[in-house]
Amino acid sequence: MKTRITELFGIEHPIIQGGMHYVGFAELAAAVSNAGGLGLITALTQRTPEALANEIRRAREMTDKPFGVNLTFLPSLTPPDYPGYIRAIVEGGVKVVETAGNNPQKWLPVLKDAGIKVIHKCTSVRHSLKAQSIGCDAVSVDGFECGGHPGEDDVPNFILLPRAAEELEIPFVASGGMADGRSLVAALSLGAEGMNMGTRFIATKEAPVHEHVKQAIVAATELDTRLVMRPLRNTERVLKNAAVDRLLEKERALGSKIKFEDIVAEVGGVYPRIMQDGEMDAGAWSCGMVAGLIHDIPTVKELIDRTMREAESIIARRLAGFMAA
């Protein structure tokens, strides 16, 4: 399947693995790239630029296919060493960067000078247009269904994707609710040129997370996610658990007076305990509504091959059959 996204990133299938905290390690990124998609290493999971450089080298040893790095720009009193992380990306020969969070404009010149293609994660049409105007090569349009941060507009992909298609000139991929061949065909029909899968890739054999995490996703339904941190305008979609129940109770009790410090026990530094140690109630962790469509834990190659077979069958048989009827 050939789209502007496959051409832009030099990949076989229009499938991107989203950048995910304590999930996007070299093992998963290489597996996705080897299967014909675009795998991503999550930069800020690596504690230092030197650690990221090492992770890029590890991925390079596992695949000769294109892979990228996710770099999230966070507001912080003590920001990460972003110049160091970008230097590690450039010196590591990475040719694709997925940016997220704050506007990446100040970092684009050095990335562009190194011949790096930039895809920026956006939760609205206006942010997508801004990414286009500053020179991003593509955007990942995240609907309200997505795990992690869906923004504050609450627009689902059935509306957001065609709106993006009406406004954008650069290619974009659909993110949020993406799980299989049906998702891919739907995304393409609404104007996207591929799809970004996050939660679906956690429930794969190569994902370097605890088995408890994978089983929790398989067991979950589309009704088992919750939105937290809405009062702080930092909304995150997470999988329901005991910590999330505590967090939501604090939000109800404190109302508009709530501060980040009030919920730090439920959201601060919990990812290693969950993703690596399997402590499923240690805190809130990102998960999309798409969990309701995830019923197994295949290899990455099995998942991508199955997705492409399904997509091709839907396009060539089911949809074509409607036209012939």
pLDDT in tens, 217-246: 999 999 999 999 999 999 999 999 999 999
Residue found under tokens 């789209």: 3
pLDDT at 266 over 80: yes
pLDDT in tens, 118-149: 999 999 999 999 999 999 999 999 999 999 99
| pLDDT for 76 | 79
Q: Is 85 helix (H, G, I), strand (E, B) or coil?
A: helix
pTM of the predicted model, to two decimals? 0.96
pLDDT at 78 over 90: no
Q: What's the rounded mean pLDDT across residues 165-177?
A: 98
Q: DSSP letters of 91-154?
A: HTT--EEEEEES--GGGHHHHHHTT-EEEEEESSHHHHHHHHHHT-SEEEEE-TT-SB---SS-
**pLDDT more than 90, % of the chain:** 97
Distance CA 37, CA 146 (A): 20
Distance CA 240, CA 225 (A): 5
Distance CA 163, CA 124 (A): 9
| pLDDT for 182 | 98
pLDDT at 191 over 90: yes
Q: What share of the chain is helix, strand, coil (3-state, %, to 5)?
A: 50, 15, 35
pLDDT at 267 over 90: yes
pLDDT at 77 over 90: no
CA 268 from chain center: how many Å? 20
CB-based burial, 75-112: b 16+ in 10 Å, e otherwise: eeeeebebeebbbbbbebebbbbbbbeeebbebbeebe
Asked whether 138 and 172 are in contact (CB, 8 A), the reply is yes
Domains of the chain, first to last: 4-208 (3.20.20.70)
Q: Which helix (H) or strand (E) holds 1?
A: none
CA angle 53/55/60 to nearest 5° reads: 95
Q: How confident is the model at residue 167 (pLDDT cuts 50, 70, 90)?
A: very high
| pLDDT for 210 | 98
Distance CA 279, CA 70 (A): 25
pLDDT at 18 over 90: yes
Q: How confident is the model at residue 75 (pLDDT cuts 50, 70, 90)?
A: confident
pLDDT at 325 over 70: no
Distance CA 183, CA 177 (A): 7
pLDDT at 101 over 90: yes
pLDDT at 324 over 80: no
